Amino acid sequence: MPKTATKPVRIVVAKVGLDGHDRGVKVVARALRDAGYEVIYTGLRQTPEMVVDAALQEDAQVIGLSIHSGAHMTLFPAVVDELKRRKATDIVVFGGGIIPDDDIAVLRKKGVAAIFTPGTPLQEIVDWLRKRFPES
Amino acid sequence: MKVRARDAKELWQEEFEKAPVRDDGIETSTISGIPLKPLYTGDDLPRREEELPGQFPYTRGIHPSGYRGRLWTMRQFSGFATAEETNRRYKYLLANGQTGLSVAFDMPTLMGQDSDAPTSRGEVGHCGVAIDSLADMETLFEGIPLGDITTSMTINSPAAILLCMYIAVAEKQGVPASKLGGTLQNDILKEFIAQKEFIFPPAPSMRLVVDSIEYCAAEVPKWNTISISGYHIREAGSTAVQELAFTLADGMAYVDACLERGMHIDDFASRLSFFFDAHIDFFEEIAKFRAARRIWARWMRERYGAQQERSWKLRFHTQTAGVSLTAQQPELNIARTAIEAMAAVLGGTQSLHTNAMDEVLALPTDKAARIALRTQQLLAYETGAANTIDPLGGSYFVEALTDEMERQAEAYFKRIDEIGGVIPAIEAGFFQKEIADAAFRYQNEVEQKRRIMVQAKATNALNRLGKAAAGNDNLMPYILDAVRAYATEGEIMQAMIEVFGTYTETAVV
Amino acid sequence: MAGFTGAPGTGKSTLVDAVIALLRKQGSSVAVLATDPNSPFTGGAIMGDRIRMQRHALDGKVYIRSMGARGHLGGLSLATREAIRLLGGFGFDQVILETVGVGQSELEVAAVADTTVVVLTPNLGDSVQMIKAGILEIADVFVVNKADIDGYARVVAELRTMMNMAPKREWRPPIIPTIASRGEGVDKVWDAVLGHRKHLATSGKAQELVERRLRDETAEVAAELARERARRALEDDPALAERLLNDGTPYRTAEEILDRKG
């Protein structure tokens, strides 16, 4: 097959946790699409196992997680752990949602590459990805 | 006389066009995108018979006496962890004269899952109480006489189960169901449209809602069976028009479903209530509330043939907009909430929840919760807003905007009808797409600074000023930047004071 | 290899999800390629077809892969052909291609799939439009999903009329009613797919298809290679680009590029 010019970075975007607040995750998904990324949205109420499985099947370089239920301290690290278990630690995990500053520090330490809270300009998320994947 | 009036308007138009215009982002539309004129005049007033409060179509309010007869109910919703803790809190509130209780459930309960389900991990007891069986419900209401109080339960997919548990607790207390009063949110359609806490597919979900409405009409007649909610639709990013149209369309879908079951419209219509958002675009919100009452009254009387006046009246609860709050400078949220609450009051709400300034971050602190409640009391007793019924009635602008909201809502009803009704529209993703489009548009506007949010954007300029003050640069460009970023005089002075200090005169006697 | 296509909102993902469930019950392993032809401008895409199939996410015998168009028309069929070959190589018993039917894309499905299943619903006004837009020629199986809502009989009648007016084909596409959300009629859909597959084999069409596809694919790859070569030539050879600008002669320039030694 002929080579295409550049290979877009693929991002699996998922809502973990039981809440259904998908406004933020959808706005972010569209912004990432407009920035040229291939976004695979897996929908609401995904377990860490489902998210990681989707990322592997979809050959994604990035996982974006969104949560508003308050269970981020359990579920975000669970995704990172599942990636370790499946030997896929090259996949970068970032997250968003209503997450207090104190928790952000802990999550960063546990392997979540970045956390974006409500009010973050969309461009900031895109800029972060561009820095992380300069070839994209 | 008439000719002269026209001349005066033309003169104004000329002068307006010649006058200099601000260049810091004038909005030519509401945040819902309704175009705005710079001025409204008598030409914009609709030609219709004068509307009055307490009279069909209730644009000016459902009570002839407005808030002179009775103020709105100040109802603050909050969640606590365990059934025991919540029970203690309830007893405290009841001892202090409150008569209405409000139950917030945790996510697993809302999603119909037991606390020990694998997908409940990390969620049990967050933001609400966990109820697994009747035993938990008994603990929650232990020692509370259910015949003497009313209870509001915010739950949807499993609403029927929780209501049954409540009835069962009452049974054990010897209180018959006919004496129970309260409200169930029970609005499954907005879950499919916006909040997404659905479990069953639409058809069986609707069947459960109608089951509960039918059952309550016969057995629990004092229970408000459903609170048809636009709040979640708006918070999911819809416009005011979409909130209005989709919520009322949901309401009509419930009415249709009940009629299909064979119920009579006047047997259940008065037990339907509504729940709206109060957002930051002040006049648009007031117009929304007024339009909602008028539309509902017309549809109930003219389309559904309701005979009783109480079936025509749209009653609603309002909560100020969570999405309008910012995490930076949370104190500004007090001002936002106050303005939103004022819009709800001028729109004639029956009850109101004001958000606490830190609600965007976490559970409110005591102080923030108190300020939120005090804001309502201030509105009720200090501002005079409650003294005159529908004080904005007759305003050229508000009346024109009310009509425009109604017109746009009716256009949505037509589109929904063309798709085949609310449920086919849900299944075709119609609402979800409309809302996602609006949310994306709004977010982009915010980021392009078209919709100026007074925020911490001056902070950077102030930091640069502080650093420059510590060095030797000319400070004028830095001050100018801070001024351009809308930093206040006090903030700019403070930035310099932190470097320069202040002077105290040597005392000369 | 079966391809499913239909307008947004017809429930085609739900149908594919139900087909996966059926095939899994029969013990087959399934690979699904979900393609999305959207946003050709930025190269970005949002692909949401997995949402409806997530109940199979943890099933090791189900593989779901979303594919974007990556900014060029026709790219989809090239990439999907490669992917299908690869999935066959991995030993999946069944490979399903799912594409949102918006304009060109259903034709691309037909170009790749042995059996093309076109999904319609009674409640979307554009169903009929789709029929007009030449879908009749490519459909091997029609599914009318959401058969329990008003308008079902009308859509079926319209389809029949259209088929009767069209030139006769050896294979007359069956019309299968389904309620995919409840799994109703899904087994009939798969039976129809197998029926068409058998028809291809016994009529000799299958071999014909294989040969035609190889030729088509080769032509497409050649076109793509030539496009890439032209792009590079215009970038690397300023004199050539300059001449093109001055003369305004794309045909002559193109021939010149192709005549050069690659």
Q: Which residues contact B479 (CB under 8 A, 6 or more apart)?
A: B465, B492
CB contact under 8 A, A37 and C78: no
Q: What is the mean pLDDT of chain B?
A: 89
Among the ranges given (B151-155, B454-458, C228-232), the one the predictor scored with the smallest mean pLDDT: B454-458
Of C48, C50, C221, the CB nearest to A2: C221
HSE-up (13 A, CA, CB side) for residue C32:
33
> Can you give the residue ranges of every domain in chain A?
10-132
Q: pTM for the full model? A: 0.76
Which helix H or strand E contains C180, and what residues bound it?
none
Chain B contacts in chain A segment 95-124 (CB below 8 A): 98, 100, 117-119, 121-123
Fold observed for domain B66-70+181-439: TIM Barrel (3.20.20)
Alpha-carbon separation of residue B418 from B233, B433, C124, C156 (angstroms): 21, 16, 9, 20
pLDDT of B272: 95
Determine contact: C146 vs chain B, CB below 8 A. yes
Chain center to CA of B202? 25
Task: Say what the pLDDT of residue B376 is.
Answer: 93
For residue C206, the number of C-alpha atoms closer than 13 Å in the C-beta half-sphere is 11
Q: Which residues pair with B102 in a beta bridge?
A: B152
Question: For chains A and C, what is the number of CB pairs under 8 angstroms?
Answer: 83
Closest Cβ opposite residue B447 in set A22, A118, A121: A121
Chains in contact with C via at least 3 Cβ–Cβ pairs below 8 Å: A, B
Q: Domains of chain B: which residue ranges?
A: 66-70+181-439, 455-509
pLDDT at site C92: 94
Residues in B whose CB is inside 8 Å of some CB of C read: 201, 418-420, 424, 427-429
Q: Does B348 touch chain A (CB under 8 A)?
A: no
B122 contacts chain A (CB < 8 A): yes
CATH of domain C2-203: 3.40.50.300
CA distances from C198 to C139, C168, C190, C202, C204 (A): 16, 19, 12, 6, 10
Q: C149, C152, C184: which to substitute to probe chain B, counting the most B Cβ within 10 Å?
A: C149
Q: Answer yes or no: is pLDDT of A2 > 50.
A: no
Handedness of CA B459, B463, B465, B466 (dihedral sign): positive
Mean pLDDT taken over chain A: 90
Please report the pLDDT score of residue A136 as a whole number: 60
pLDDT given at position C45 = 84
Q: Which of chain C's residues have a Cβ under 8 Å away from the Cβ of B418?
A: 125
Among B438, B394, B393, smallest CA distance to B412 is for B438
Give the range with max mean pLDDT: B161-175, B446-460, C52-66, C159-173: B161-175
Which residues partner with C63 through β-bridges?
A: C31
* Start-to-end C-alpha separation, chain B: 73
Question: On the CB side of C249, how many CA atoms lie within 13 Å of its CA?
Answer: 9
| Strand order across the beta sheet in which C94-100 lies | C62-68, C30-36, C94-100, C2-6, C115-120, C141-144, C175-177
Q: What is the DSSP string of C245-259?
A: HHH--HHHHHHHHHH
- Give residue-wise pLDDT tens across range B78-95: 666 688 888 988 888 788
Closest Cα in chain B, distance from residue C225 (Å): 38
Structure tokens at B180: 């129970």
Q: Which residues pair with B181 in a beta bridge?
A: B150
Rg, C-alpha atoms of chain C: 21
pLDDT of residue B4: 63
Q: Which of A13, A16, A23, A101 to probe the B interface (max B CBs under 10 A)?
A: A23
Nearest to B155 by CA among B168, B171, B166: B166
Q: What is the number of helices (H) and of strands (E) in chain C?
A: 10, 8
From the list A8, A42, A59, the residue facing C70 with the nearest CB is A8
pLDDT number for residue C6:
84
Number of residues that make up chain A: 136
Q: Which residues on chain A are in Cβ contact (under 8 Å) with B110?
A: 18
Rounded Cα distance between B389 and C29, Å, is 69
Residues of C in contact with A59 (CB under 8 A): 65
Region of residue B319 (left: phi > 0; alpha: psi -120 to 50; beta: else)? beta
Q: Does A46 touch chain C (CB under 8 A)?
A: yes
Q: What is the pLDDT of residue A98?
A: 84
- Strand partners for A5: none
CB contact under 8 A, B119 and A45: yes
The secondary structure of C187-203 as a DSSP string is: HHHHHHHHHHHHHHHHH
Closest chain B C-alpha to C94 CA, distance in angstroms? 28
C9 touches chain B (CB under 8 A): yes
Asked if residue B185 lies in contact with residue B170, where contact means CB atoms within 8 angstroms, the answer is no
Residues of A in contact with C42 (CB under 8 A): 33-36
Span B257-263, average pLDDT: 96
Mean of pLDDT values over B423-432: 89
The number of beta carbons lying within 10 Å of the beta carbon of residue B204 is: 11
Model confidence at B417, in pLDDT bands (50, 70, 90)?
A: very high
Q: Would you call B420 and C150 a contact, using CB atoms and an 8 Å cutoff?
A: yes
Residue of A3, A4, A15, A82 to mutate, testing the C interface (most C Cβ within 10 Å of its Cβ): A4
Tallying the residues shown for chain B, one arrives at 509
ipTM of the complex: 0.84
Residue B133, pLDDT > 80, answer yes
Q: Give the integer Cα–Cα distance in Å for C183 and C188.
A: 11
When CB atoms are compared, the residue of B107, B327, B439 closest to A26 is B439
Domain range annotation of chain C: 2-203, 210-259
How far apart are alpha carbons C4 and C142 in whole angstroms?
Answer: 10
Query: What pLDDT, on the 0 to 100 scale, is given for residue C51?
Result: 87
> For B170, phi and psi rounded to 5 degrees?
-60, -45
B251: distance to nearest CA of chain A, Å? Answer: 22
CATH number for the domain running over A10-132 = 3.40.50.280
Can you give the pLDDT at residue B266? 96
Q: Are B268 and B258 in contact (CB under 8 A)?
A: yes
Amino acid at C16: V
Chain B residue numbers touching A119 (CB-CB < 8 A): 326-328
* B201 contacts C9? CB cut-off 8 A: no
Mean pLDDT for back-to-back runs of 10 residues, chain C (262 residues): 86 92 95 76 80 87 86 64 88 91 70 90 63 74 88 84 82 93 92 96 90 87 89 90 88 90 64
Q: CB–CB of B419 and C123 under 8 A?
A: yes
How far is the C-alpha of C205 from the C-alpha of C210, rounded, in Å? Answer: 9
Place of tokens 């968003």: A96
Q: Which two tokens stand for residue B464?
A: 């640069």
